[in-house]
Structure 1
């Protein structure tokens, strides 16, 4: 029988550079981590597989910040501040930021223009002198010993290259770096199911006066179309909302499943291939239905994003795993480094199920413990973003961009503190980290007053 493997000859890998902090992944967590580390005076490299930043927010066309706000005793407040505020201000100066809009009558989200996000993120990193390496896909690591990463391997158009760093921060979304380093992780609900991915799309050519608040009427039109047998939809809950210009709307009717009905896996290349193709097919079907909605008759697809929108893959096990109970109970933690105001958002088969803390009785946000950023068994590694230490239920809430900004800023600053104290991230003085975060404008909960305004 033919061999099932190929032996690659040993080779010397060119060293791209040596840094104090290397961040893998340029989504909200990676942007904030790199800026925080560089602002603290550490030579920092941000590595991104695409030619732009923003993560799922740009590469998957999400076009919507979730989790920046919380419903605090019935009043909306923006609870994610710090570096996120610097980025939003830059997007706003480019006229690319919408006013926050209400979701389900209970929580705010904030739409943005993806081009403005990309440009603003470039500007933010340049202002803080972060080195950036685009078009570089993480491909593996070399360990110094059982507990310490020596170098990260990346594949580029120049071939395979190596990056050395004192501390690495995994903001890959999929926990790639942590998994390669041998850190323990979980996948989905540990029973073969993950939050379902989606394919976003954007439409142009809408008549805003005629469309009105179409997002209120579309669910009934969907039910009518299914009853008539003219259209079928992969999930009940649809997103159809205007962008900054009323002639452009973002759309998500899609849900990507395997043949057995479980979610497409974002860490299986064969499944991802199937998901991309099926996602575009579903997007076209959604578009064909929307052309029957008043105001959308002359609309056209202006953008299908570079990739499928992935919500959950690996979740790295750290010193604490944020749970669904923590989210619904608005949990407090002595080692809080930020907050999450987004509810549980469970993308289950055929639907999206939201679970909120009690409103208006509760303060509407949970704190995020530093321990969820520190993996077990690897000493010079932190993680931030949707691959941080959370249960399947907890991750359904704190995976969104607001919490990712908060986690990333804390991870970058923690890396700088560890380097300055000649220690490992697990052993830094968390009180010092909290003090510095607050001094730099972050809201971490604890004894701070809740920020005013939106």
Structure 2
């Protein structure tokens, strides 16, 4: 009794007192003695008939008068509950509004010898008593709903002592709602068909709790097959029931950019600056693409050719990017190579500038070390594209109105079923392997010494002093004393076709290129006096891929467009670099155009999916035209153009092809100073 609620002590004390416990007469009883005597007489008659003198006032909320039961039977108008036999479960009440709930005596099988007659003569035959479990005690057994049922034996028919304490607990269920932790938890998690009706009727004083216990909970959880399993609790796999069930909601954005190279960085910065919620997805641990991981140390395509001084071509982000690199010390002065100019840079400075700019962008979220392994691309403004992202912690979806593919290999376009193309393996441009050397004397690579060095390496490769794969070597200084970058263009693996989309092939090619580069360094140390103390300071994380798969757009740029310098009214960017094709690893093939050519918006929008854009090496161009448009300077320009177009399309709820090209050009010219660049 000490463990019971303090508020229930008066009620429990009255229960323990039995039939002789009487309350003191109140003012109403003194004012109307005949009426009080009649009420007490009726109460005693009910007590003798039911054998439960102390729980009627507590259990009943109905204030209507009840007739006397002089014949020792139950009240009129109630359904009779058959007394349970020894070892038989208690009778179950029916959920009907015209019947009162089962009383406390019905929950204690065999207690007080209660007998009630049925309302109808016809009654379903009772179930056979279950077989007795020899491992359980004789006096009790565990029922399926978690409550304890007592067996009907003569020793338990006494209405006082232990019986009173058992009924007191049931009274607490009704009056104070103090359900023990064990049965309450069972009532919450059991299915409706597992909760006994008699138990539900016993706690039906608080109907909300009883109904909640009976109502099956509908669970939503991920099954081992990655499908959403719905239904009752017993229908969910065990692994899903261990933790809290939840639905994985897809993150939403206006523009999703796949690929964190120069084109992807420009597209993400432009879209976020134009007001679109943007997500930039990069599989590597740092931004920058080949400029960071392949040690590409020049920005080509920024300047006009055949000029007396450097003249920038692009008015927007490419110019701001070059100025920021020069200001931070990550780039030198423009250098001349024949008829063209390029900007020498330091790859770590390029990566640092990209990280700082993307971190300062207000509406931009960068997802590093994230791979896109699935895509459902929308074909209209009312369709949402969904990307399936995979990280070290698992997979998650991402919904976007517009998707921009700047992966360099048209990964999102291919996964989403968009139209793509790739040149034959025999004419695909050969990759590069770039490493940095330190400890070189300055006069060893100044002026014509660079040409003499490349010529000596090529002669050694043709004469057998070096492997034939080392014939093409180009060196450039990086602005620091005694430091230079060496670029080795490498052929495919012997006996195998060039497969730039196969990661195993690229890994094997990098291992072979590493061996070739070590042999070149050893040759320079032995033959060139200025390289006697040279050592390798940086190795690339991967080979530099120049060409792979590309998307097919509404307009495809051709070799004739580039060489003729064709200009269009729907121009959003331009290309000024000549056609540079490394179809042979030993030497490139150059074709110089008459002037800059236009890059229309149609070349940056997918032909099959109107909400898919592309930039960089993924834009729509032929094999020859891509040799001029794949460079970093042009990639920055095309990325900026498609980023602005994507933000306008998301804001106006239209397709990329419906965006006005003149509006894109005007936005680029007017908002170039809004980028978060130093």
Q: CA deviation at 1:356?
A: 3.3
User: Which residue is equivalent to 1:119?
Assistant: 352
How many Å separate the matches in 2 of 1:11 and 1:303? 46
Report what 1:435 is aligned to: 666
Name whichever structure is richer in helix by fraction.
2
SS of structure 2 residue aligned to 1:402 = helix
Q: Structure 2 CA distance, aligned partners of 1:273 and 1:228?
A: 29
Paired residue for 1:77? 311
CA deviation string 1:157-181 (max 9, x = no partner): 1111221111111010100001111
Question: 2:420 corresponds to which residue?
Answer: 185
Structure showing greater relative contact order (alpha-carbon pairs closer than 8 Å, 6 or more residues apart):
1
Q: Is the 8 Å Cα contact of residues 235 and 349 (structure 1) preserved in structure 2?
A: no
User: CA deviation digits over 1:184-243, x for unaligned, max 9?
Assistant: 11112x465411112111111111134433312113312442455312342654220100
Preserved contact between residue 315 and residue 391 of structure 1 (Cα < 8 Å) = no
> Please, which of 174, 193, 196 is the counterpart of residue 430 of structure 2?
196
Match of 1:414 among 612, 629, 645: 645
Q: For residue 392 of structure 1, what is the aligned residue in structure 2?
A: 623
Task: Give TM-score scaled by structure 2 length.
Answer: 0.60
Counterpart secondary structure, 1:411: helix
Find the counterpart in structure 1 of residue 329 from structure 2: 95
Distance change (3 Å), C-alpha of 1:231 and 1:123: same
What is aligned with 1:374? 605
Residue 10 of structure 1: aligned partner: 226
CA apart distance, 1:25: 0.7
- The residue that corresponds to 1:319 in the other structure is 554
Please state whether the residue corresponding to 2:531 is helix, strand or coil: coil
Tell me what 1:44 maps to: 278
- TM-score for both structures, normalised by structure 1: 0.88
Q: How many residues align?
A: 428
Structure 1 gap segments, 5+ residues each? 1-7, 443-454
Contact preservation (8 Å) 1:102, 1:108: yes
After TM superposition, give the deviation of residue 82 of structure 1 in Å: 1.3
Q: After the TM superposition, which of the residue ranges 160-169 and 77-86 deviates more from structure 2?
A: 77-86
Corresponding residue for residue 541 of structure 2:
306
What secondary structure is seen at the aligned counterpart in 2 of 1:386? helix
Rounded Cα–Cα distance in structure 2 between residues aligned with 1:16 and 1:244: 47
* Contact 1:337–1:437 (Cα < 8 Å) also in 2: no
In structure 2, the residue matched to 1:449 is: none
Residues 15, 351 of structure 1: alpha-carbon distance in 2 compared, 3 angstrom cutoff: farther
What is the distance in 2 between the residues matched to 1:57 and 1:35?
18
Deviation, structure 1 residue 336: 1.0
Q: Sort the Cα spacing of 1:228 and 1:95 in 2 relative to 1 into closer, same or farther, 3 A.
A: same
- CA distance in 2: counterparts of 1:149 and 1:283, whole angstroms: 48
Q: Does 1:151 align with 2:386?
A: yes
CA contact (8 A) 1:211 1:296 kept: no
Matched, 1:404 2:635: yes
Larger Rg: 2
Q: CA deviation at 1:43?
A: 0.9
SS in 1 for 2:624: helix
Which residue does 1:5 correspond to in 2?
Answer: none
Displacement, 1:151? Answer: 1.2
Cα distance in 2 for partners of 1:176, 1:204 equals 37
**Offset at 1:413?**
0.2
Aligned-partner Cα distance in 2 for 1:80–1:431: 15
